[in-house]
Amino acid sequence: MNEPAIDLQAVYKSFRSTPVLRGVTLSVARGKTFAFLGRNAAGKTTTIRMLLGLLKRDDGAIRILGLDPQREPIELRRRVGYLAEDQTMYGWMRVDEIVRFVAPFYPTWDHELAARYLRDFELPLRTRIKHLSKGQNVRLGLVLALAHRPEVVILDDPALGLDPIMRKQFNRDLITHLQGEGRTVFYSSHLLYEVEPVADEVAILDNGRIVRQAETESLRRDVKRIILSREAYTAVRPDLRLLDEQIDGGSVVATVEGAERALTALGREGVEFRVVDLNLDEIFEAYVAGRRGEATEAKPQAELQPLA
């Protein structure tokens, strides 16, 4: 069972002449909780819809539990749970009605499990869907996505529109009902501080490519901000894997990946520097909005972006 739960190799997708994905490659091991991060319109939903076979890819390969979503969508949907972004259900149905309506689509539907989730999630069975709160809607979506005991669960921005209390509750649901039962979870989000306590691994999608995939904790060890003088910076810059550089008076504030090697290089040069730990928000920002002026050698340093 060493085959990954989800595997994408060089996946391309354009809408008309606008490229959305330009060679997305990522892999999710079984049993992991994987957060898929990106700015709005980065292509997260497009990727997710291709994972489920709802959209065709232009090029590349996708396997979920070894299945190609385009060729075997039915088998795939039996083994995968899916919660769409802003999932709209028949508003006139009652909670108990939609559960009865959805169940026959899945041969492995577990009625007892569905009943338990409905109880655990405190969902009012006789209420019409259009009268549920946003939080209750997400929880009902989870019941429908989970009751057939899928091996892989794909959630498209499930925390969207939830208030802070419901977000924490959602994280608890994720930990208890999904991680606790060994399922693979792939979910997209733009709330990084909510993702960090929960995700084993994250991938950052930017400009149609995965700019970084890493375990959450190693990512934080690997990306650091270094503050040092301009002279020292000029000496070590070629050794740094830069994400962002900004000038602040006589010093440079540089955000780098591969922090351990960078610090070794700095130690070797014997220059003075200060290291700042970053939170996931700052790391994400460095990857998707980092500014690197190709400045130090060819152009004067003043052309580096100054601190705002």
Residues near other proteins, by CB under 8 A: 33, 168, 171-172, 175-176, 179-180, 192-194, 196-200, 217, 220, 276-282
Q: Which is nearer to other proteins, 169 or 213 (CB)?
A: 169
Phi and psi for 231 in degrees, rounded to 5?
-65, -50
Q: How far is the CB of 179 from other proteins (least distance, A)?
A: 5
What is the rounded CA–CA span in Å between residue 234 and residue 223? 20
Helix (H) or strand (E) holding 61: strand 59-64
Could you tell me the two tokens for 300? 């004067």
Residue among 222 and 245 whose Cβ is closer to other proteins: 222
Closest contact distance (angstroms) between CB of 3 and other proteins is 21
* Shortest Cβ 101–other proteins spacing (Å): 31
Place of tokens 């520097």: 273
Closer to other proteins by Cβ: residue 272 or 281: 281
Structure tokens at 49: 């819809």
| Minimal distance, residue 277 CB to other proteins, in Å | 4
Which residues in 107-151 belong to E strands, given as ranges? none
Task: State which residue, 149 or 168, has the beta carbon closest to other proteins.
Answer: 168
Which of 102, 288 has the CB closer to other proteins? 288
**Distance separating alpha carbons of residues 32 and 64, to the nearest angstrom:** 14
Exposure of 302 by Cβ count < 10 A (0-12 exposed, 13-18 middle, 19+ buried)? Answer: exposed
CB 168, min distance to other proteins, A? 5
What's the sign of the alpha-carbon dihedral 104, 109, 114, 115? positive
Residue 50 to residue 70: CA distance in whole angstroms = 8
Minimum Å gap between C-beta 159 and other proteins is 12
Rounded to whole angstroms, what are the CA distances from 165 to 35, 261, 280? 20, 41, 21
Q: Which is nearer to other proteins, 59 or 281 (CB)?
A: 281
